[in-house]
Amino acid sequence: MRKFNSLKLYRDAYSGHPPEIWTLAIITLINRIGTMVIPFLTVYLTTILGFSLKQAGILVSAFGFGSLVGSYIAGRLCDTIGENRVILASLFTSGFLLVFLQFAETFTQFFSLIFITAAFGEGYRPALMVAMANYVPKAEMGRTFSFMRLAINLGMSAAPVIGGITAVHLGYAWLFWIDGVTCIAAALYFWQAKKHWRVKPNVEKQNGSERSQAKTLPAHKDIKFMIYIGATLLAGVAFLQWFHSVPVFLKTVWHYDEQLIGILLGFNAVLVVLIEMPAIHALEKAGKTRITLLIGLACIGIAYLFFLMPKALAVCFFALIFWTLGEIFYIPLNNATALNMSPASKRGEYTAWYWMVWSLAHVLGPPLGLGLADELGFDLFWLLLAGLAAVSFFIYQVLLKKTV
Domain 16-194 matches domain 216-404 at the CATH topology level: yes
CA torsion sign for 218, 394, 307, 383 is positive
For the segment 304-331, what is each residue's pLDDT rounded down to a tens digit?
999 999 999 999 999 999 999 999 999 9
| Amino acid in the structure at residue 121 | G
Rounded to whole angstroms, how far apart are CA atoms 327 and 333? 10
Whether the CB-CB separation of 123 and 71 falls below 8 Å is answered with yes
Segments making up each domain of the chain, as ranges: 16-194, 216-404
Candidate from 90-94, 222-226, 287-291 with smallest mean pLDDT: 287-291
| Amino acid in the structure at residue 96 | F
The CATH H-level superfamily of 216-404 is MFS general substrate transporter like domains (1.20.1250.20)
Count CA atoms closer than 13 A to 243's CA, side-chain side.
13
Contacts of 165 (CB under 8 A, 6+ apart): none
Residue 342 or 203, more confident: 342
Tell me which range, 71-75, 154-158, 282-286, is most confidently predicted by mean pLDDT.
71-75
Whether the CB-CB separation of 224 and 342 falls below 8 Å is answered with no
Tell me which range, 162-176, 217-231, 296-310, is most confidently predicted by mean pLDDT.
296-310
Whole-Å CA distances, 197 to 190, 194, 200: 10, 5, 8
pLDDT of residue 404: 54
Whether the CB-CB separation of 173 and 96 falls below 8 Å is answered with no
Rounded to whole angstroms, how far apart are CA atoms 88 and 188? 8
pLDDT of residue 2: 52
Residue 35 or 6, more confident: 35
Biggest distance spanned by C-alpha atoms of the chain? 64
Which is nearest to 359 in space by CA: 144, 90, 65? 65
pTM of the model: 0.85
Domain 16-194 architecture: Up-down Bundle (1.20)
Which is nearest to 65 in space by CA: 356, 401, 276? 356
Candidate from 22-31, 33-42, 389-398 with smallest mean pLDDT: 33-42
